[in-house]
Chains A and B, each alone.
Chain A
Amino acid sequence: MFTPNPRHEEGLFYLLAAIGGLVSAVGVAAALYMEHFGHVVTGMNNQIVWGLPHVFAIFLIVAASGVLNVASMGSVFGRVLYKPRAPLSGLLGLAMMSGGLAVIMLDLGRADRAMVAATHVNLTSVFGWNMILYPVFYAFVAVYLWTMMERRMNPYSKVAGLATFIWRVVLTSGTGSIFAFLVARQAYGSALLAPMFIIMSFSWGLAVFIVVQATMYAWNGMSLPPLILKRLKNLLATFVAAVLYLTAVLHLVNAYFAKNIAFEFFILFDSEFAGAFWIGQVLIGSLLPLALLFHPATRTKALWVNIAALLVIIGAYFQLHVFIVGGQAFPLDIFPGYEVKSSFFDGAVDHYSASLPEILLAFGGLGIAFTMTTIGVRVLHFLPQDDLADLEAAGSITD
């Protein structure tokens, strides 16, 4: 492996690990602060009950599942190009799932009752399913990583990969169903959300993978073979376009029902979320990346593909913000056909601004995922090692 200056490189690693550790520790400290004083120190309230921590956590959980797509392409669908990338994709999956779950669990009103959550499972609840889906995800990915990294276990990696693939499709359906099963609010309660979350996971997971892989290559003074870059960017473009398509369908169907027109008008045009939707989700998160991935001047340049992937990630946060916070900010339609007023803000649009503790907690989740990844790629061999001759042979078949 080529490393320009081992001493600097080692120092940089410790610096990165320390920064990641610090951000994680500050996040946990923020959660303890929230636990001590109560959620009064957050911007969340009785109408917007889920805020920034949930936006970050759901991004991490959804992307964690999607990043495994890279591994599945290799193991399950036999794409040679993706096989050397499978271990890294597994590690990222574990790291992001850990970060996301940590934020969700630490934001609980009674975070000290993790054992209660683990021992009392209501099987009619999607959340209850997730209590099973998420931990088992760890087991699947861990076994899968083992079959890939331990030579004697290699023959089983295809089976393990298939099992992991199926499990994470179910898992992300479960995450989407958290919202799909909500009858009360107009923003949610659509069966489309389950498949949509799966496509979102593909898109966001791949974007994260591209960015992390690029960083690792740059770290080692290597550059990604153009063939691989082309494949990855085409795949990313497909997923981004698919998410955009499903978003359009969701809103169009919703706007077709008279009872939902007011909500659609609110979220798309007449609220603080309209800008986040059009500029953040649509322009930054979808159209701009698509342009970069397809424009002849940028589509072959690793830098621009990486920027496109970064924009997809940023767009994902806007999308979740609009979806989660925006969906709750619109008042419940308890008395359809009436205008309502009350001392408890019925009929009123709510505003949410995250307080410092919840911002720190949210970033703490990123810190956990970052630290785990940084240490993981350092101590184990996760850097994709391509056999170019193999690739070209395979490329001529699969291109």
Chain B
Amino acid sequence: MTAPQSPDSNPRRAFIAAAGAGVAGLGFTAIAPGLHLMAVGEANAATDARKAGTAASSKVRWGLLIDAGKCVPGCTKCIDACHTENGVTEKLPDPRQNSQWIRKIELVERRTGHVTQLPMMCQHCANPPCVDVCPTGASMKRADGIVLVDRHTCIGCRYCMMACPYKARSFVHTPLHEQNPEVPRGQGCVEACTLCVHRVDKGQQPACVESCPEGAMMFGDLNDPASPIAKRIASVPTTQVRADLRLDPGVRYQGI
């Protein structure tokens, strides 16, 4: 089912680049299921592109495992990769109004002063409060666990931002023109990490996972016991942030 692959030797992406952004998906998804690549890096869980015309399945639960112990102070590669991939480029005079799909948080243990670094983004909860509170149903969870904002029906009320315990969502405060064609986003709507859904559907990894030089992030199917991420979670102690809220986040942390 799964075909391990390395981000840096991925002929799929070369293929997509050649095919161009728009119609590429059509031709690509028709060919991709036939491709099986050799494993290079263990850390990067691999996935198949879903066949064109098939819906995301609830048999899959996409998730991340982040090893805070490997996250290096001062490094912002995952943030840069995310914001380039998703075209989050605006720089407003008040930085609190900028969108932030992923951010680095530094934790300092109050008594010991022990410092931990980690990237924080939408935790793609199984029971997402943002989805519960959204008045129009624009905030939604896909069958495979990816929490998204349907910008076609988002009215920009920001109630989901009030409800999210992770401060994961941002409101677009200004008109945008530099969107990546595959990542529509615009003024007056709320947005957050999409787990790079446009890449995942093509069988690629989220940009942050691919960019991490330390291999601190792992992406894969939490429901598939054979997937590297599921195996790792089964073998090492991991943490869900704000586990007390019982939101069952799809992102887990190691080493905090």
Beta-carbon contacts under 8 Å, B152-180 to A: 153-159, 161-167, 169-175
Indicate the size class of the contact surface on chain B: 35 or more
Is A124 on the interface with B (CB-CB < 8 A)?
Answer: yes
Contact with B along A324-367 (1 / 0, CB 8 A): 00001000101101111111111000100000000000000000
Q: Are A45 and B110 in contact (CB under 8 A)?
A: no
Q: Are A184 and B103 in contact (CB under 8 A)?
A: no
Q: Are A110 and B155 in contact (CB under 8 A)?
A: yes
- With A182-B163, A334-B166, A334-B241: A38-B106 Cβ-Cβ less than 8 Å: no
How far apart sit A37 and B98, CA to CA, in the bound complex (Å)?
14
With a cutoff of 8 Å between Cβ atoms, the chain B residues found around residue A350 in the complex are: 96
- Of all chain A residues, which has the CB nearest B92? A40
- Of all chain A residues, which has the CB nearest B79? A343
Contact with B along A30-49 (1 / 0, CB 8 A): 00000101111000011101
Beta-carbon contacts under 8 Å, A16-69 to B: 35, 37-40, 45-47, 49-50
With a cutoff of 8 Å between Cβ atoms, the chain B residues found around residue A131 in the complex are: 135
With a cutoff of 8 Å between Cβ atoms, the chain A residues found around residue B161 in the complex are: 46, 49
Q: Are A332 and B134 in contact (CB under 8 A)?
A: no
- Of all chain B residues, which has the CB nearest A345? B96
Q: Are A37 and B174 in contact (CB under 8 A)?
A: yes
Stretch at the interface among A112-120, A139-147, A239-247: A112-120
Beta-carbon contacts under 8 Å, A139-177 to B: none
Dominant SS at the B interface? Answer: loop
- Of all chain B residues, which has the CB nearest A346? B105
Is B200 on the interface with A (CB-CB < 8 A)?
Answer: no
Indicate the size class of the contact surface on chain A: 35 or more
Distance in Å: Cβ of B202 to nearest Cβ of chain A: 29
Q: Are A178 and B159 in contact (CB under 8 A)?
A: yes
Q: Are B190 and A109 in contact (CB under 8 A)?
A: yes
How far apart sit A113 and B151, CA to CA, in the bound complex (Å)?
11
Distance in Å: Cβ of B238 to nearest Cβ of chain A: 15
Q: Are A340 and B190 in contact (CB under 8 A)?
A: no
- With A109-B154, A109-B157, A109-B188: A127-B164 Cβ-Cβ less than 8 Å: no
Is A125 on the interface with B (CB-CB < 8 A)?
Answer: yes
Distance in Å: Cβ of B156 to nearest Cβ of chain A: 2
Q: Are B187 and A38 in contact (CB under 8 A)?
A: yes
How far apart sit A110 and B227, CA to CA, in the bound complex (Å)?
41
Distance in Å: Cβ of B2 to nearest Cβ of chain A: 32
Is B107 on the interface with A (CB-CB < 8 A)?
Answer: yes
With a cutoff of 8 Å between Cβ atoms, the chain B residues found around residue A181 in the complex are: 132-133, 163
Distance in Å: Cβ of B62 to nearest Cβ of chain A: 22
With a cutoff of 8 Å between Cβ atoms, the chain B residues found around residue A253 in the complex are: none
Q: Are A45 and B157 in contact (CB under 8 A)?
A: no
With a cutoff of 8 Å between Cβ atoms, the chain A residues found around residue B187 in the complex are: 38, 109
Q: Are A185 and B162 in contact (CB under 8 A)?
A: yes
Q: Are B136 and A184 in contact (CB under 8 A)?
A: no
With a cutoff of 8 Å between Cβ atoms, the chain A residues found around residue B222 in the complex are: none
- With A109-B187, A117-B135: A49-B158 Cβ-Cβ less than 8 Å: yes
- With A120-B153, A124-B132, A182-B162: A38-B105 Cβ-Cβ less than 8 Å: no
Q: Are A338 and B163 in contact (CB under 8 A)?
A: no
Q: Are B107 and A125 in contact (CB under 8 A)?
A: no
How far apart sit A269 and B161, CA to CA, in the bound complex (Å)?
26
With a cutoff of 8 Å between Cβ atoms, the chain B residues found around residue A113 in the complex are: 153, 155
Is B97 on the interface with A (CB-CB < 8 A)?
Answer: yes
- Of all chain A residues, which has the CB nearest B150? A120
Q: Are A110 and B159 in contact (CB under 8 A)?
A: no
Candidates B135, B164, B166; contact of A130 at CB < 8 Å: B135
How far apart sit A21 and B92, CA to CA, in the bound complex (Å)?
34
Distance in Å: Cβ of B152 to nearest Cβ of chain A: 8
- With A38-B173, A45-B94, A126-B133: A342-B158 Cβ-Cβ less than 8 Å: no
With a cutoff of 8 Å between Cβ atoms, the chain B residues found around residue A50 in the complex are: 158, 162
Distance in Å: Cβ of B6 to nearest Cβ of chain A: 29
- With A38-B174, A127-B135, A332-B165: A340-B188 Cβ-Cβ less than 8 Å: no
- Of all chain A residues, which has the CB nearest B189? A109
With a cutoff of 8 Å between Cβ atoms, the chain B residues found around residue A38 in the complex are: 172-175, 187-188
Is B100 on the interface with A (CB-CB < 8 A)?
Answer: yes
Q: Are B155 and A117 in contact (CB under 8 A)?
A: yes
- Of all chain A residues, which has the CB nearest B108? A339
Distance in Å: Cβ of A53 to nearest Cβ of chain B: 11
Distance in Å: Cβ of B245 to nearest Cβ of chain A: 6
How far apart sit A130 and B135, CA to CA, in the bound complex (Å)?
9
Distance in Å: Cβ of B125 to nearest Cβ of chain A: 11
How far apart sit A72 and B175, CA to CA, in the bound complex (Å)?
47
Q: Are B174 and A45 in contact (CB under 8 A)?
A: no
How far apart sit A37 and B92, CA to CA, in the bound complex (Å)?
12
- Of all chain A residues, which has the CB nearest B123? A334
Is B104 on the interface with A (CB-CB < 8 A)?
Answer: yes
Is B137 on the interface with A (CB-CB < 8 A)?
Answer: yes
With a cutoff of 8 Å between Cβ atoms, the chain A residues found around residue B134 in the complex are: 122, 125, 127-128
How far apart sit A178 and B166, CA to CA, in the bound complex (Å)?
19
Q: Are A108 and B157 in contact (CB under 8 A)?
A: yes
Is B7 on the interface with A (CB-CB < 8 A)?
Answer: no
With a cutoff of 8 Å between Cβ atoms, the chain B residues found around residue A345 in the complex are: 96
Is A393 on the interface with B (CB-CB < 8 A)?
Answer: no
Q: Are B171 and A46 in contact (CB under 8 A)?
A: yes
Query: Could you name 23 residue pairs across A and B whose Cβ atoms are closer than 8 Å?
Result: A39-B173, A40-B173, A45-B173, A46-B97, A46-B161, A108-B156, A109-B154, A109-B155, A109-B156, A116-B155, A117-B135, A117-B155, A120-B137, A127-B135, A128-B136, A184-B164, A184-B165, A334-B120, A334-B167, A335-B105, A337-B110, A339-B110, A341-B108
- Which A-B residue pairs are the 4 nearest by beta carbons? A109-B156, A109-B188, A127-B135, A45-B96
Where the two chains meet, the residues of A that have a C-beta atom closer than 8 Å to any C-beta of B are: 35, 37-40, 45-47, 49-50, 108-111, 113-114, 116-117, 120-122, 124-128, 130-131, 178, 181-185, 188, 328, 332, 334-335, 337-346, 350
Given A46-B170, A124-B133, 5 other A-B residues pairs in contact with their CB atoms under 8 A = A38-B175, A108-B156, A108-B188, A109-B188, A340-B107
